[in-house]
Structures are given as C-alpha cells and as structure tokens.
Amino acid sequence: MDSISLEKCEWIAEYIDDTKMKQEFRQDDFMIFLKKKTSFQKANELFEKAVQQGVFHQNKNKTYIIPIPSMKTWFLEKFQRNKRELYT
C-alpha cells in the first residue's frame, strides 16, 4: 500500500488545526473540509488510506479519532513547521 504523501499529511494536519479537533470527528466533516482542496474521489481515497494505515480509527458510534495522541501532535508540529517555512 502506498504511503500518504507529505502534501496529504499536511491536509490532515490542516483539518486538525482548522477544526480544533478534540477527540472525535465524522467522516462527512473531513470530506467537506477536503472539498476545497481536491475532488470527492481523491478525498475519499485519502480518508480510506488513513483508516487502513491506522491514522484514523473508527469508534463503535461511527465517529473517528486519531488513536495515538503523539501522532496528532506530530501532524500539528509538522504542519506548523511547514507553514513557518513558507512564510519566512
């Protein structure tokens, strides 16, 4: 299985940062966010890949979480670092 590209990791980090995601989120919310970045099909592929690779985990109530807190931190730190590099 292909890994998630850096650009798409940045999209995930943007979603986390933009929504101030606490614990759970719905797939629909993620898809709506990505609608401004890419096609529905590509957004769905990214979402499915993130689930398959363990970035997102589905709860019993059909919501999703990032199961490893340090992974969420990594996404946010990487996104902030890349954002700083773009604007400095």
pLDDT at 1: 46
Higher per-residue confidence, 46 vs 83 = 46
Structure tokens at 73: 């931190």
CA atoms of 12 and 6, how far apart (whole Å): 10
In this prediction, residues 6-28 reach a mean pLDDT of: 79
CA atoms of 48 and 78, how far apart (whole Å): 22
CA atoms of 21 and 18, how far apart (whole Å): 8
Question: What pTM, to 2 d.p., does this model score?
Answer: 0.77
CA atoms of 45 and 23, how far apart (whole Å): 22
pLDDT at 77: 80
- Nearest to residue 75, comparing CAs of 19, 1, 2? 19
Higher per-residue confidence, 87 vs 79 = 79
- 54 — pLDDT class (breaks 50, 70, 90): confident
Residues 15-25: pLDDT tens digits?
Answer: 877 666 667 88
CATH architecture of 6-87: Orthogonal Bundle (1.10)
